[in-house]
Amino acid sequence: MRANRVLLPLALSLIGGAVQADLLYTFDASAQGFTVTSGGALTHVVSGGNGHLSVADIDNADVLLNLPLASGTTDWSSYLGGTLSLDAASLNGQAPSWSTFGLLTLTSATAGSVSFDFVPETDPTTGWKTYSVQLDVATFGANLSAVLASLSSATINLESGNGPIEVVGIDNVRLTSAVPEPQTWAMGLAGLALIGALRRRARG
Ligand SMILES: [Ca+2]
Ligand SMILES: [Ca+2]
């Protein structure tokens, strides 16, 4: 039994290294903790059980959508190499005339910030479209891993109109971890095998 006290946590940590929770915000019942802290007014809209966020630009400050994070710092290391995606649409038919829509900025309490604009300058347009960005060093630079490990805010710039003229919709914000590398799968399988061995020993 003493060996199990050492081996069981080891087995669980091997599995934990391979399995990382994805996040999906569908806004079907609420705004799920998303806020707009600058330049815009956020409304949660429900239609036929499918909700989304509606954000109206109200002044000349950038409209910044904040993803919900725990206070202090959050460790998003497991999303390094993963993907952030969202659905967006122009809700009032305003053609895009400002290019910063889709600028994702990740800020760390201790390691500065990184950013990347993942929506084409010609979007969003009327009708929902999905946009995504890979959270990798090739896209955000070498500082990304340090920022993700001590994240204090994650904001998406929603400015698509020159002046307070646009109303945009946001839905299905999704954060997925990287597809595990073969060696990560191997660690997870090793963890499962170890647990299997411990159970057999406990029975015997
Ligand atoms: Ca929805
Ligand atoms: Ca604007």
One CATH from 1.10.150.120, 2.60.120.10, 2.60.120.260, 2.70.98.10 for 21-176: 2.60.120.260
What was the pLDDT predicted at 200?
82
Examine residue 124 and say whether the peptide bond preceding it is cis (omega within 30 degrees of 0).
yes
Ligand 2 center to residue 65 CA distance, Å? 13
Ligand 1 center to residue 47 CA distance, Å? 9
Q: How many CB atoms lie within 10 A of CB 71?
A: 6
Ligand 1 center to residue 31 CA distance, Å? 10
What was the pLDDT predicted at 18?
47
Which of 47, 33, 21, 25 lies closest to 170, judged by CA?
Answer: 25
Ligand 1 center to residue 52 CA distance, Å? 5
Residues with CB under 5 A from ligand 2 (ion): 57, 159, 161
Residue identified by tokens 């995606």 is: 85
Cα dihedral 178/67/145/73 (nearest 10) = -130
For the CA of 174, the nearest ligand: 1
Q: In what order do the strands lie in the sheet with 35-38?
A: 35-38, 64-66, 151-157, 103-108, 113-117
Cα dihedral 158/38/151/100 (nearest 10) = 30
For the CA of 170, the nearest ligand: 1
pLDDT tens, residue order, the chain (204 aa): 566 677 776 666 655 554 558 999 999 999 999 999 889 999 999 988 899 999 999 999 999 999 999 888 999 999 999 999 999 999 999 999 999 999 999 999 999 999 999 999 999 999 999 999 999 999 999 999 999 999 999 999 999 999 999 999 999 999 999 877 666 667 777 878 887 888 888 776
Ligand 1 center to residue 53 CA distance, Å? 8
Distance CA 99, CA 139 (A): 18
- How would you classify the pairing of strands 23-25 and 35-38? unpaired
Ligand 2 center to residue 153 CA distance, Å? 22
Q: How many CB atoms lie within 10 A of CB 201?
A: 12
